[in-house]
Each structure stands twice: as structure tokens, then as C-alpha cells.
Structure 1
Amino acid sequence: MKKLLSFGSAVILILLVGCAKMPLRGDYVEEKAPPQIQANENMAAIYFFREWAFTGGGMSYFITEDTKTIGLLKAGSYFAFQATPGKHTYSAETEARSSVTLDVQPGQVYFIEGGIGMGFWAGRPQLAEVTKPIFDKAKPDLKYIRLATPEEVQQFKEKEKSNNAGASL
């Protein structure tokens, strides 16, 4: 009995420790007309993208710059970010973590491709710096998304709550 309790406790601990917050539908907004994010003499531009694939297609993850959440990637999406110069680490996390560190230079444009690899409990994010031609080839099939504002998240939750209340009548 003690072995069974120890095993159960270990499984629960692994599940609690290994679970990062996963994005929900209300955490992002699809944009029909993406903003024009460009590099300039003070800032760099970074494009994050993830092609659609059946394997891991339902999994999404937040992207952080150092410790700040700057966007999220879901299958078939991309977003752009203006970065300050300096060394920054861009990360994604599910049950595992993947990171790319860039020495960001003003006036430069960077491209980071996201993907999903096989994991034990969930897909593992994969981030890699790639070239512009790789992004340009994928871009026509991608939807631009951005993080929802706190107000948009609240509106989404209220709408879901009212939809669920109407369904239970």
C-alpha cells in the first residue's frame, strides 16, 4: 500500500511541476490586417512562426522574452515583435522548455520557427532561428495572431459564460 501511495504522489507531483500554463482561445486574437512591425535604428524586428501540422496541431504555447510573455504560437500562426538591442532569450514551455538566445542588433530582422516534438505528457516545443526565405515560404499559409488585451480576455470569458448559461436552460 505504501508503494502505491508513493507512486501516486510521485505522479501527481510530476503533473503539477511539469505543467506550464497553456494558452486558451481567449488568450489571443486573430488579426485580418497584421500590423507593420519593422526594424529601425533603435529596434530589431523578430518574426515567430509555426506551420500547421497534424501532429501536435492542437497544442499551443506562450513565447517569452527573458521573463516577459510577448506572444504565443499555435499551429498555422505567426506574430511579430519589436525587440530592444542586447542579448535576449526567447523561450517556449509545455512539459519541457526550448530556448533561442539572440544578440539582438538594431535594424536587423530575425526569424524564429516553432514546432512540436514528441513528449511524455504533452508535445515539447521546439524553437530554432531560421532564414527569411524559410519564413517567406511558410507565411502565405499562416494567420497573424497577437496576445489579447486584459479587456479582450474578460470579454471572451463573459461571452463564454453567457453562452454556457444559455446552453444549460
Structure 2
Amino acid sequence: MFRGFRWLLVAAAVVLTGCAATGPRYAEVESAFPTLRAGYGRVLVYRPAGLGAAVQPELLLNGELIGKAQPEGFFFVDRAVGRYTLTASTEVRTTAELDLADGATVYVQFGISMGLFVGHPRLTLQSPATAVPQLAALAYTGAVPLVPGPARSRQADALPSGPAPSRAAPPGQVTLDDLGSLLPAR
């Protein structure tokens, strides 16, 4: 009996370790985040480790698929200033109302609580003071590749500055800033 229980624990550990997000860590790619255009804000969704690692629902912003809630991962999307509804569904549907302000980032922590058959998603708005320390070790799971670089100074972010400096990517790699020029003007 104990031998069977031991194998069950080993199998569960193998399955759950395969669920964590992989990719460059926040601290490595934060300096490569594109500068927000005027009239835009950023929605950053993150999921620290916790209950229900195998449950990874899709997240919708005003009905548009923007990502998947992977354990120990984060992603972001930039959108025009305004009011948005973020939605995640398992056996229940959970929403969070977001107000995007010009140049601001809204941090949304994803979590799972116990459900009848499947965990229930939780979407919690967090302050930068709470979110940023939690993000440091999380993996980037976004769709566009970011080029890892040195961490950005928090003091430098607080100071107003002129136009954003151009970030040169190593040959063969593309940053979000490079792709921004391909988007139609709004």
C-alpha cells in the first residue's frame, strides 16, 4: 500500500512540475518592455505558483483572447485608454473591471480557488508595490519575443525624460519597439 502511495506522489510531482511556465524571467526582460504610446495603457496579468497548476484557463479582454493563465508566468497587452472587462472561465466565469489610464499599467493577479470539479479562477487587481516584487521570478509567456537585458533602474523610471531611447536588439532578434512601427496609426 505504501509503495503505491509513493508512486502516486512521484507521478503527481512530475505532472505538476511540467505545468510551470518557462521562458525569460521578468527581471531579465522588463527593460525590453516597449514604451507605451500616447493614449495607451498596459494590462499585465501574472500568476504566482499555487493551487490548481494544471488548470490554465484562457483570459479574454473585452472578448478578445489575450493569453493563458500559466503558473509562475506573466504576460501583458497594451490597449487604448478606456474601460475593459477581463474574463477567465473554468466551471464558473470570473470577471474584473479595469480602467486603463494613459501611460499606466494595471496589474492583475490570477489565482485559483477550490471548486466543485475544477478550480474557480480569481482575478485580483494589485498595486505596483505588491505586484512587482511577485513578478521578479515569474517567466514571460507573452506572444512577442522580448530581448533580455539589464534590469531597469526604478529611480530612472520615476524621473521625467525626453523621447524614449531606441533599444537595439542583437542581430536577428526583434523587439516590440521594432514592431510598433508596423502598426497602423490611430
- What whole-Å deviation, never above 9, does each CA across 1:93-139 have from its counterpart, x for those lacking one? 11111111112222111100000011111001000111011111111
From 69, 89, 95, the counterpart of 1:99: 95
Aligned to 1:70: 66
**Structure with higher helix content:** 1
Equivalent AA in structure 1 for residue 40 of structure 2 = M
Check if 1:88 corresponds to 2:84.
Answer: yes
Aligned to 1:51: 48
**Structure with higher strand content:** 1
From 122, 129, 138, the counterpart of 1:126: 122
Q: Give structure 1 stretches of 5+ with no counterpart.
A: 1-24, 149-169
Question: Could you say what secondary structure the match of 1:141 adopts?
Answer: coil
Q: Would you say the 8 A contact 1:37–1:82 is kept in 2?
A: no
Q: How many residues align?
A: 120
Equivalent AA in structure 1 for residue 33 of structure 2 = Q
Alignment TM-score, normalising by the size of structure 2: 0.59
CA RMSD of aligned residues (A): 2.1
Aligned counterparts of 1:79 and 1:103: Cα–Cα separation in 2: 18
After superposing the two structures, state which structure 1 stretch, 93-102 or 37-46, moved more.
37-46
Equivalent AA in structure 2 for residue 140 of structure 1 = A
Q: Give structure 2 stretches of 5+ with no counterpart.
A: 1-17, 145-186
Change (3 A) 1:81 1:30: farther
Aligned counterparts of 1:51 and 1:38: Cα–Cα separation in 2: 25
Equivalent AA in structure 1 for residue 106 of structure 2 = Y
Aligned counterparts of 2:34 and 2:47: Cα–Cα separation in 1: 18
- What whole-Å deviation, never above 9, does each CA across 1:47-94 have from its counterpart, x for those lacking one? 1001001x2122111110111101111111100110111111011111
Map 1:130-145 onto structure 2 (within 5 A).
130-145=126-141
Aligned to 1:22: none
Map 1:3-82 onto structure 2 (within 5 A).
30-32=22-24, 34=29, 35-53=32-50, 55-82=51-78
Aligned counterparts of 1:91 and 1:147: Cα–Cα separation in 2: 19
Q: Report % sequence identity.
A: 19
Change (3 A) 1:37 1:122: farther
Q: Would you say the 8 A contact 1:96–1:124 is kept in 2?
A: yes
Change (3 A) 1:92 1:83: same
Aligned to 1:146: 142
Spell out structure 1 runs of 4+ moving beyond 4 A: none
Question: Could you say what secondary structure the match of 1:48 adopts?
Answer: strand
- What whole-Å deviation, never above 9, does each CA across 1:127-160 have from its counterpart, x for those lacking one? 0111011111111221110249xxxxxxxxxxxx
